[in-house]
Every structure is written in C-alpha cells, then in structure tokens.
Copies of this chain bind each other. A is one copy, B any other.
Amino acid sequence: MVDSVFMSELSWPEFEAKIAAGAPVFLPLGATEQHGPHLPLGVDVALPTGVCERVARAVGGLVAPTIPYGYKSMPRSGGGELFPGTVSLDANTFSLVVRDVIRGLGHHGVRRIVLVVGHFENAWPSVEGLDLGLRELRRDGIADMQAMRFEYWDFVRRETLDRLFPDGFPGTELEHASLLETSLMMLLRPELVEIDKAPTDGPANFPTYDRFPVPEGFVPASGVLAVAQGSTAEKGQWLMDDHVALISAAVRKEFGL
C-alpha cells in the first residue's frame, strides 16, 4: 500500500479506508503570485502544502490537492495584479471551487476538514467558500461536517517572532516575499531561492487605504513589501516547527484526535 498523506497519491480504496478511519482532510489554498525577483511564483502553493504535509503526518490526516490559483493579489499585501505572473481568480470563482471541493469531500464521508490559507487574499473568499459548501452539505442531509479555517502564519509563538525580528515584527501583510516566506522557501525548496536577487527597495510604506488604479510607485518595484535579507533555512525551520506544532495541537483539540 502506498504510504502517503497526499490524497493524490492514494488509490480510491486507500482513500476510502483513511476516511472511514476518521482522517481529517487538509485543503491548502494557494496562489500563483509574484514574490519578488528572488522567489518563484509558486511560493503560496509550496508553503501551505508543506505545512499541511507535516501536520497531516502528525495527526493522521490527508492533504487534498492544493488549489493553485488564488484570489486577486492586492497591492498592499501582495503587490497587486499588475506584476507579471500573478494569475488570479475572481472571488466568486475561487469561492465556488472551495465550495465544490468541500461538497465533494463531504459526499465521500469526510467529516473533518481544515482549510489552510497560504495566500493572504484567500482569507475571505475561503470563508465564503466554506460557508457555501457547508450550506450545500446541510441541504444534502450532511449536517455533521466539522471544519477549521486559518492562515498558517498565525500559528507562531511570540518568542519565535521576537527571535526573527529583534527590531519588531512589521506585521503579516507586509511580510509578502519577505523574511518569513523566504526563510520557509529556503527550508523547503532551496533550489528555487535566488537570495542574491533579494531587493533592497523595501519596506513598503502604505497608506491606510486602497487606491485604484494603483498609482505609480505605490508598490515597491521589486514586489517585495518588506525585507528578505537575513533569511535562512534555519529560520524557516523555526517557523515550520511552530506551524506544525501549534496547528497540530489545535486540530487535535478541535477534532478530539
């Protein structure tokens, strides 16, 4: 029997057996989005998938195929849709994908599902997709689905942030393509990180509003919103350790595993 936490690597009888045993299913919600000149477009797929893989292993769960296109990048959190290579879905499209996948999983007996956001802008459309999916399942007579939904980066200890940012954490939004994501990529996919290309034009200094069309100079030309310098695989490991430990604990607690 194939030993894998990835649903895509299991045959249907293997999947069936895992679900019958109560395995929670993790659905990573990624994106195809610019992450500066030193990181690839697939960062938001690689990271939540990597986190889910480790958490699933820890708690006996499965990882459904990562949704690789996310909701539109916003200038203040991802640089915006104008950067080449950022290819996104309308909110309605994204939410319908999440709805349909949840509905499909529910019809096959899954009763514990965890949506893991790996792209800031997916937060709200994933809420809507989850709500729509649960609504449909209830109408189909499946009222006992249990679900969690979160952004993986929120599972980090204060001490770790302090270690990573001795001068103070700039906040989640500005961390796009910056120290956290770069360090995690150096851990997971070092061959795709060109750290010498990390720009120095950040951090961005955004106003408290969105502006359309995006004015010239609103976003750093590199697409990096804060600072990537100082990233290391070791720091990525600190983060990953926190993510896996804290998420696993939360999942176990909520689902009684």
Contact = CB atoms under 8 A, between A and B. Distances in A.
B212 A74 contact: no
A40 B127 contact: no
Most central of A32, A45, A209 by chain B CB within 10 Å: A209
B32 A11 contact: no
B209 A149 contact: yes
Given A97-B89, A147-B212, A211-B147, A64 B32 contact: yes
A117 to B, nearest CB: 10
B45 A65 contact: yes
Given A10-B40, A45-B65, A223-B12, A90 B100 contact: yes
Contact of A85 (B7, B71, B212): B7
A161 interface: no
A84 interface: yes
Interface stretch (A13-21, A52-60, A162-170, A226-234): A13-21
Interface in A79-109: 81, 83-93, 95-97, 99-101, 104-105, 107-109
Nearest to A100: B89
Given A95-B92, A97-B69, A138-B140, A41 B11 contact: yes
A65 to B, nearest CB: 4
A202 to B, nearest CB: 15
Given A32-B7, A84-B12, A84-B19, A69 B100 contact: yes
A90 B128 contact: yes
Contacts of A121: 124
A139 interface: yes
Contacts of A160: none
Contacts of A89: 96-97, 100-101
